[in-house]
Structure 1
């Protein structure tokens, strides 16, 4: 099942994508795709619905029908750094002995095709296609063997990053990770039964048609069950929290010479089975 949120900014409604690629409205069944809507029992009730009975929404998603972030009211936006062996190598860094964990402000979250803004004073805004994990059942000190029971689904994330702010501005990585529009989520949240083997998903990112990232979740160092378990040691995970699991090689900082975003460009990125995002890059 592919769950989504559609409509104008701040007025998104819950929906799902049917087998014909059209949006069906879920407003009669849930208030939003968020929080307790993502608990296992709630997901099971949605999966039991007869999709053809749900109201058809006018417009084609990602064309003349805007999609919002696939999860609403995200409580925590947790990110993992240097989690692909080949990306660590292009960065000239060793694979960390434990997952690198940092936070992205939830105010960075936007829809999958909304504009991405280069912050004022930025000269090193970069891209990162990432596999997002959406928490369903919350918990803390989660056993790795039980971790997937806590996952409601997966999505595409662009972990947009300002490298100078991140690395050179006397602080943690958070400075360069949380600017407004730096967290496009979606287009949809795909439930695990439909994703299948999430350790073998092709992922890519292009800027103005040039493919910079062309990787796979197969090179992820710390896998999804470990990350869910690991993060739950340091915080309670709650329904609707999002974990962004790291990026494969091909980021702008890793090019020789480095390449960074400029206003007027178009980013396009996707992950097998999870959909595609398209963002126009604007100067703030």
Structure 2
């Protein structure tokens, strides 16, 4: 009886051990497959106009992330607040420069660590992202006298511009971006963007984004001037007053809050 009991117990343990080995083997196979896909995506398509990390590749990363960042944040706000909120940063289309520049910055500074230990990517992303977010907040307040976020009520914040929690988010984002998203995006760009017409398309988009940024900056600057009581004496001021009055800009930038004075 005792022998039969231990025999059955041993058989059950052996089955469990075999199941664990199969799961480990499957996990290892998935990891190897992911590594192979990552290498293939990073390898790209030699001869493509955006091959490697050149101007064209950086621009496409910038452009795509300007758009995707808005989509992701809009969905996040909808899920967490139950409200559909405007999260764009430019007056033409669903684009936000912060997401695009942030993606380029993470790629340029951290892509070489794709095969390194995750902690270096995390730490690098936390420091780099925190510094970038702080700079963006400072620059916005310095130039326009407004802020779009304020972390003063968060613990371990620096002048309300950044805090420890969001630095952690930046670290996690850097890990996900460098290990998973950037390699896939790199492969997609080189396989999907036309090599024949890609350069022409790129420069058209460059012109569009430059014009979009200039008009957006002028609209916000004129918005601040109207707030300060500055009359329209130049053609561009009149054009901004007609195209982008206060009620229009309030809808485009609902989270933008004026500070008492420019820094």
- The question of a shared fold, defined as TM-score above 0.5 by the shorter chain, is answered with no
Q: Point out the structure with the larger helix share.
A: 2
TM-score by length of 2: 0.26
Q: Which has the larger radius of gyration?
A: 2
